[in-house]
Amino acid sequence: MTTHRTASRMLAIAAVLTLAAAGCSSEGGKQEEEKSDSGNTGVADTPRYTIAMITHEVPGDTFWDLVRKGAEAAAKKDNIELRYSNNADGPEQANLIQTAIDSKVNGIAVTLAKPDALQGAVQKAVAAGIPVVALNAGLEQWKAMGVTEFFGQDESIAGEAAGQRLAQDGAKKVLCVIHEQGHVALEARCAGVKKGFGGAGVVENLNVNSKDMPSVKSTITAKLQQDKSVDRVITLGAPIAITAVESAKEAGSAAKIVTFDTNKELVGSIRSGDVQWAIDQQPYLQGYLAVDSLWLYLTNGNVIGGGQTVLTGPSFIDQKNIESVAQYAEKGTR
């Protein structure tokens, strides 16, 4: 596990260096003269390709706003036409992949939250000669599908880190809230929390449906009212964390809230202490790298990661370092 983690981190660093090198090579000399002549400064002069990004975004989850902003920033720089679409339902997401294939896009970036439903469509894209990269979800499945690269965090490692920190914080009973059943990454997070927490106490999963936030609030509230021994609630997304804070107050529970993932609103909650800490996987970076990596592949045959996951997380954000992130959250990129 340590060797895998170290190697993946080195690959992530290599990815950043690759991108930096690409940026340096675009300045000066003949390329700069061509850009100046065309009036297209700051935009790649490579052919205009079309890339489809297809995610399992749930409406209202601001996490995906960050992913999309990163993808759009890379597309603008790389002279890419970005076609973004989303559906949380696995078969419907597969249909979106088929639509992208039929429209003969040059590349596809896709999340693999429900890999069984997507495998056939992804393999059709690969068979059609369309390069496919994955982001955010599907770390255990992407290679078998023929996907070229993966950008995200190892959810098991992130979960273990969260469980270890909960144990260090003195937690005894943890409620892990899964807001989308069948989502492999979310299930891996809670399994990792349980593993990392070890013998420190009990981790119990609670399934809710993020498509119905009033129901999410009432379900968490009812659980905390019924079980006063719960002293920590860990959610797997920032909007769920904000809702859990409200639930704990309504239930009269002393349970503290921690979470995976961040957004602008969560920054204020960490500042105030309503949320103790968050694990950041850098969604903006995931979207950016997914599009930029396809551009590098299409224009120069580059593959980032050497067949391994390019990690974008995890890292902890709490009151000690929140100000280093706040300025970027205010701009809507963290």
| Domain residue ranges in the chain | 2-154+282-313, 155-280
Residues 285 and 279: their CA atoms lie apart, in Å, by 15
Q: Is 279 helix (H, G, I), strand (E, B) or coil?
A: strand
- Alpha helices (H) in the chain, listed in sequence order: 2-25, 29-38, 63-78, 90-102, 115-127, 155-168, 184-197, 213-226, 238-251, 264-272, 283-300, 322-331
CA distances for 274 relative to 190, 256, 258, angstroms: 21, 8, 9
Give 233's strand partners.
Answer: 175, 257
pLDDT < 50 stretches in the chain: 1-39
Residues 222 and 203: their CA atoms lie apart, in Å, by 17
How long a stretch of residues is the chain?
334
Q: What is the pLDDT of residue 4?
A: 45
**Nearest to 149, CA basis, from 8, 249, 244:** 8
Residues 134 and 245: their CA atoms lie apart, in Å, by 32
Give 82's strand partners.
Answer: 51
Q: Is 48 helix (H, G, I), strand (E, B) or coil?
A: coil
Q: pTM to 2 decimals?
A: 0.82
Q: What is the pLDDT of residue 330?
A: 87
Give 149's strand partners.
Answer: 133
Residues 271 and 196: their CA atoms lie apart, in Å, by 26
Q: Angle at which helices 238-251 and 264-272 pack, to 10 degrees?
A: 40
First to last CA, the chain: 28
Hey, what are 185's tokens?
């990454």
CATH class of the domain comprising 2-154+282-313:
alpha beta
CATH superfamily, domain 155-280, is: Response regulator (3.40.50.2300)
Domains 2-154+282-313 and 155-280 share a fold: yes
**Nearest to 111, CA basis, from 144, 69, 64, 66:** 64
Residue 150 and residue 309 in contact, taking contact as beta carbons nearer than 8 Å: yes
**Nearest to 180, CA basis, from 89, 118, 313, 96:** 89
Q: What is the pLDDT of residue 173?
A: 98
